[in-house]
Amino acid sequence: MAFDVLEPGLSTTAQDQGRIGYYKFGLPQGGSMDQYSATLANRLVGNTVSDAVLECTYIGPKLVSTTNAVIAVTGAPVDVFVNGQLVPEYERIELLAGDELKFGVIKGGTKYFIAVHGGIDVPEVLGSRSTYPIGAIGGVDGRALVAGDVVPVGVGSDNGLPVVTSIAVDDRPVFSKEVKVRVMLGLYDHNLSAKGLDSLLNSEWTLTPVADRMGLRYSGPGVEWKDREQPFGAGQDPSNIVDAGYAVGSIQIPGGTQPIILHRDAVSGGGYAMVATVISADMDLVARCAPGTKTRFVAVNMEEALAARQENNARAARIWS
């Protein structure tokens, strides 16, 4: 069972929940950028949360199913076509052998996800099927799909498909052009001047087109740093530090001008001051933002961050109950 790739799309990769446990060696966790959307697709087709899906970026692939298959498409709003006929997102779709799946122009957000009963069955590398193109591991030959690829599909559980055939509108993610992203300050917010910190937290930042699985760059008023003598090894620019580990979701501001949120495929360390970190509960929200999205960074404390994570976990648990 497989998909034949007629057209690959802009950047279509196999992703799962990520490659956990190797960040300390410099290997990012990766995984679906918008984990919640990916899990909804898996839910509809009777997979487990950990099955791999195809993550499509802006322009989706054109695929032909070699056998009958059960699929679902979730995530960013887009028209889905089977043999040229419009079919719904967020609903289970049955494909017959030879059916062609393709997509229209994306209507918001950045990424949509194709789950198939049985999961995308590329080999596991270090415990994950997620594609990490920079490291050339995971997925199909460690890279995004190309025309002519044959994407293997696994054998699903024979417990039958779930009763649920569509995701309720209230449970679907929202794709907004204006978002509030919750962050925790640190580790290097003390390098910002009071004016710089005020600028970070009380200005509107606009997501630029420079955004991918590694990071998302924002334009805005910039920030100001405290005057300090740069320590040995830190470089001359006040946005530089002596190299340190980057928390997942760190915000760095090279040169003090354009903040970058480090996302799922980002490096694990380097020499830029991390002024704040996006809370884990809002990483999916950041992943859904299209270029031009007006963004405000809202500081929360650890208790609020953990409460938000619990809220997300509770929602996911309800979807899977």
Partner 1 sequence: MGAPSGFRVRFHSQPLDESELMSRQIISPLPGIFYRKPGPGKDPYINEGDTVSAGQTIGLVEIMKQFSEVRAEFDGVLEKFEVDDFGVVNPGDVIALTS
Tell me: does residue 59 bind partner 1 (CB under 8 A): yes
Closer residue to partner 1 (CB): 57 or 295? 57
Q: Which of 211, 241, 274, 275 binds partner 1 (CB under 8 A)?
A: 211
Cα separation, 132 vs 126, whole angstroms: 12
Among candidate residues 209, 81, 245, 69, the one with its CA nearest the CA of residue 153? 69
Terminal-residue alpha carbon distance, the chain: 28
Bridge partner list, 151? 3
Q: In whole angstroms, how far apart are CA 270 and each of 34, 101, 181, 291?
A: 25, 42, 23, 26
Please, what is the minimum distance in Å from the beta carbon of residue 32 to partner 1? 16
Asked if 209 touches partner 1 (CB under 8 A), the answer is yes
| Minimum distance of partner 1 from residue 166's CB (angstroms) | 25
How many residues belong to the site for partner 1 (CB under 8 A)?
Answer: 14
CB nearer partner 1, residue 106 or residue 283: 106
CB of 70 to partner 1, least distance (A): 28
Query: In terms of CB distance, is 21 or 104 closer to partner 1?
Result: 104
Question: For partner 1, which stretch binds (CB under 8 A), given 30-38, 45-53, 100-108, 236-244?
Answer: 100-108
Please say which residue, 53 or 76, places its beta carbon nearer to partner 1: 76
The residue from 2, 3, 5, 11 that contacts partner 1 (CB under 8 A) is 11
Dig out the tokens for 87 from the structure: 């079919």
- Whichever of 212 and 304 has its CB closer to partner 1, that residue is 212
- Asked if 47 interacts with partner 1 (CB under 8 A), we say no
x/- letters, 106..125, toward partner 1 (CB under 8 A): xx------------------
> What whole-number distance in Å separates Cα of residue 302 and Cα of residue 29?
22
Residues numbered 273 to 292 that lie near partner 1 (CB under 8 A) are 290-292
Nearer to partner 1, 111 or 129 (CB): 111
Least separation in angstroms between residue 51's CB and partner 1 is: 26
CB of 145 to partner 1, least distance (A): 14
CA 211, 53, 150 angle in degrees (round to 5)? Answer: 105
Say how far apart CA 234 and CA 246 lie, in whole Å.
15
Task: Candidates 57-65, 150-158, 250-258, 300-308: pick the segment binding partner 1 (CB under 8 A).
Answer: 57-65
CB of 200 to partner 1, least distance (A): 24
List of residues contacting partner 1 (CB under 8 A):
10-11, 57-59, 105-107, 209, 211-212, 290-292
